[in-house]
Amino acid sequence: MSTDNEFEQYDSMSLIDLIREMRKVQIEKEQVEVDLKTYNKHFDFLRITKIPQVMEDEGIKNMSVEGVGRVSLTADMHVSVKAECKEAFYLWLRDNGREDLIQPTVNSSTLKATVKNMVKKGEEIPDELLNVSPFTRASITKS
């Protein structure tokens, strides 16, 4: 949330100066977005690939790191409806008592949670209708 004082610097600017300032902020914003993509790639590589791989290789399920917190491995997955199977999947949802998931689109977070719950319960997943890619990610819990 911003305060009125945060924008006082613009009160005395001319229209031309405001436009130049907008362009400057736009360029800075675009650079931050590029930087964020880079940070996200490194963060995802560490938490989804490298740290789980090293922890599994060393037989570590969780550990505490001073100044960081407790690190543990958590099972997760990406889930999406195969593009050509949307109508068949909606029919499957109706036939299996899960029509409450059907909206104009199925919420991806709700779908993921539902599939994770089905896996946990040992229920059959309609692999012919869904793309399901389980993965393990590292997460830090502050100590």
Task: Please tell me the distance from the alpha carbon of residue 64 to that of residue 62, in angstroms, as a whole number.
Answer: 7
- The DSSP line for 57-72 is HTT-SEEEETTTEEEE
Strand partners, 136: 75
CB 116 within 8 A of CB 130: no
> How is residue 7 written in tokens?
């924008």
What number of other Cβ atoms are within 10 A of residue 102's Cβ?
12
- Looking at the whole model, is its pTM more than 0.85? no
The pLDDT tens digits for 59-81 are 999 999 999 999 999 999 999 99
Q: What's the rounded mean pLDDT across residues 75-98?
A: 92
Task: Please tell me the distance from the alpha carbon of residue 40 to that of residue 47, in angstroms, as a whole number.
Answer: 10
pLDDT of residue 113: 94
